[in-house]
Amino acid sequence: MGGNMKKILAINAGSSTLKFKLFAMPEETVLTEGKVDRIGKPDAEFTIYVNGEKKRESVTSDSAPEAVNIVLDALVNEGIISHLNEIDGVGHRVVHGGEYFKDSTIINQSVVEKIDELSALAPLHNPANLQGILAFREALPNVMNVAVFDTSFHQTMPPESYLYAVPMDWYRKHHVRKYGFHGISHKYVSQRVQQLLEKPEAKVIVCHLGSGASICAVDGEQSVDTSMGFGPLAGLVMGTRSGDIDATIIPYIVKQTGKSLEEVEYELNYKSGFLGVSEHSNDSRDIEEGIEKGHEGCRLAQNLFNRRVVSYIASYHALLNGADAIAFTAGIGENSPQTRSEVIQALSVFGFKLDEEKNQVYGKERLISSEDSSIPIYVIPTDEEIMIARDVIRFV
């Protein structure tokens, strides 16, 4: 380890969780990782890896600052660092950067205010991300904090990708446009495929399939289109989200049921997707188990999911004028041979083919296409934390 080694914390703060990973950079060695779970609940829990061993304990954590202190205390108490001043930078995943942030940025007061202002666009995520930022700025006042946005990567989309065919005033006055999400993951995976192909200008379709899911068309270094939209409800069928629907359904259901707009929005976000269709579970693993047992709702949910993935891959293949590769990532993408197989089979018209033996892979990087496939198809485990750490080190 040279004298230039920097210790960088990558942080992902949710409404009830705080995930962290400490890296030695630029070697990209993981020194430790862990999370505080169920913040604000009586059964809060803290997990940390010490020398590769998982340690878990119950904690009292009613707020983001308490969670941050638990993490920082543990880093010192477990001997991972000897003093907090060894931390050279903290990178924070922020879900929404709007049109302000086309790249990661050092956090100052005006950045804090902008992230807060953008909470209107991401009410479930930005306030939680911001709480994490404020807590770290307070706990480590002399350390550089960097915001890494999930939307930045998609800021390269052309207007015909990001605009909706609605009155232009909606865009000019109210910022209604497609923003796209999972950008940190799409960027990481597309770069990894470009490395494997030894072709930085490669055109890649990245399928980030998890309980939240999106597909991205990447041309060289740039996102040119993505399936999530103004918010993360658009695009693919997800664990509990509907994905694309006809907008007229919403006023219709409000009138038919007497439910409020908020209730309908809640059901589209939390009661739809795999859960809504299968009436069984929001978890892909349970859906696959259900299919094995002949559960018709599970089969239907999987069919709807596959159909939507297939149609986005097909349209992006055309948009890119022929992709150079497809990559599957995230929980389902990395761990469901069945989903990958069914999706690629449905795309056989393009000459895409899997090697079913190679496709039996879980959470590991692998080329899974057959030798006679028209393009290579990969499984690439995503690593959003390393992308955050790399962005911090640019500034440090």
CA gap 279, 249 in Å, rounded: 20
Which of the following is catalytic: 43, 62, 73, 150? 150
Cβ neighbours around 160 below 10 Å, total: 8
Q: Side chain identity at 92, as an amino acid letter?
A: H
Secondary structure (H, E, C), 288-310: HHHHHCCCHHHHHHHHHHHHHHH
Whether residue 150 lies in the annotated active site: yes
DSSP 337-387: HHHHHHHHHTTGGGT--B-TTTT--SSS-EE-B-TT-SS-EEE----HHHH
Contact predicate 383/332, CB 8 Å? no
DSSP letter, residue 122: -
Sheet of 325-329, strand order: 222-226, 213-219, 203-209, 325-329, 377-379, 366-367
Is the sign of the CA dihedral 108, 109, 110, 111 positive or negative?
A: positive
Q: Please identify every residue annotated as catalytic.
A: 150
